Amino acid sequence: MVLIDRALESGTDDDVAGIVEGPPVRFELQHRALTLRDHPHTLTARGASAQAPPLSGSPTVSPMGARPFLIGVAGGTSSGKSTIAERLEEIVGPEQLSLIKLDAYYIRRTHQPMEERAAANYDHPSAFDWELLNEHLTTLLAGERVPVPVYDYAIHDRVEEVRWVEPTGVVVVEGILVLWDQGLRDRFDLKVFVDTPADLRFIRRLQRDVVERGRTQESIVNQYLATVRPSHESFIEPSRAHADVIVPEGGLNRPAMDVLLARVRELTAG
């Protein structure tokens, strides 16, 4: 388990990071009580034999013969959650850590005209196929790979292509609302919320949508005011209360990244 917090009482901008070992305990994080849960993957697990390469065409078996360790990374739009998840995947490697993005599970809108798709609220819980995502996680926990949908932002819909995800030792699920759905939330062994100020998140979203998605500033502002901001206040921000770990400012928080990486490396060590 990793713990990340700001030095609130000292009045400095320093981060406080640490690793906790041992049985379930209670402690204060961000001025609230938190119970640590046990899991087959522990910081003290050592000496397990290395994973044998799978036979061709067979699913990957998670390290140490245990089910995958599930990490949920949530936070507002452009908070830095994707940076954290992708950085972990890049450093640890896809053979040990699998990444699933909630955006892949936007519901199908093939039957809707383009104008209706463009006007939809993509930050509302109803925009996601929770049943399929939970079904896929059940399959991964059973040691089998899953066909994750591929979403095309240009057409506001899934394409026929799928991306096969293996049941590696650690599976990270990243997205704005991954701590909102209780069925999904209860599956996670570690729940992370990336907490970034609203003004920074809006600026990042504005820059991203103009450069990467070819949108106009006016359309981005209108969407932010009409759907993004209200949904954040109603659904995303309240889900922060379910987090085990609060990470200020996402991937820019180097101490937080270092501690999360250390935890993941402990879990995937052979």
- Specify the amino acid at residue 251: G
Q: What is the pLDDT of residue 65?
A: 53
- Specify the amino acid at residue 18: G
Residue whose C-alpha is closest to residue 148's, from 137, 130, 162, 135: 162
Q: Which tokens in the block code for residue 173?
A: 């699920």
Residue 2: band (very low, low, confident or very high) from pLDDT cuts 50, 70, 90: very low
Q: Which residue has the tokens 């819909």?
A: 157
Residue 270: band (very low, low, confident or very high) from pLDDT cuts 50, 70, 90: low
Answer whether residue 119 shows pLDDT above 80: yes
Q: Is the dihedral of CA 257, 34, 38, 180 positive or negative?
A: negative
Q: Which CATH number fits domain 2-48+56-268: 1.20.150.20, 3.40.1360.10, 3.40.50.300, 3.40.50.920?
A: 3.40.50.300
| Average pLDDT along the chain | 78
Please give the sequence-ordered ranges of beta strands (E in DSSP) within 46-165, or none if there are none. Answer: 69-75, 97-101, 146-152, 157-165
Percent of the chain topping pLDDT 90: 54
Q: Give me the helices (H) in 100-197, please.
A: 114-118, 130-141, 182-185
Residue 216: band (very low, low, confident or very high) from pLDDT cuts 50, 70, 90: confident
Cβ-based burial of 99 (10 A; exposed 0-12, middle 13-18, buried ≥19):
buried
Element (H, E) at 50: none
Question: Which residue ranges make up each domain of the chain?
Answer: 2-48+56-268
Of 159-168, 194-203, 236-245, 260-269, give the lowest mean pLDDT range: 260-269
Element (H, E) at 92: helix 81-92
Q: Which tokens in the block code for residue 242?
A: 């379910």
Q: What is the pLDDT of residue 192?
A: 95
Q: Once rounded to an integer, what is the mean pLDDT over residues 215-224? A: 88
Q: Once rounded to an integer, what is the mean pLDDT over residues 96-104? A: 96
Residue 251: band (very low, low, confident or very high) from pLDDT cuts 50, 70, 90: low
Collapsing DSSP to helix, strand or coil, 114 comes out as helix
Q: Give me the helices (H) in 149-216, please.
A: 182-185, 198-213
Q: What is the pLDDT of residue 23?
A: 35
pLDDT in tens, 37-95: 344 433 222 223 333 333 233 334 444 457 899 999 999 999 989 989 999 999 899 99
Q: What are phi and psi of 54, to 5 degrees?
A: -70, 155
Q: Once rounded to an integer, what is the mean pLDDT over residues 178-184? A: 94
Which is more confidently placed, 177 or 212?
Answer: 177
Answer whether residue 154 shows pLDDT above 90: no
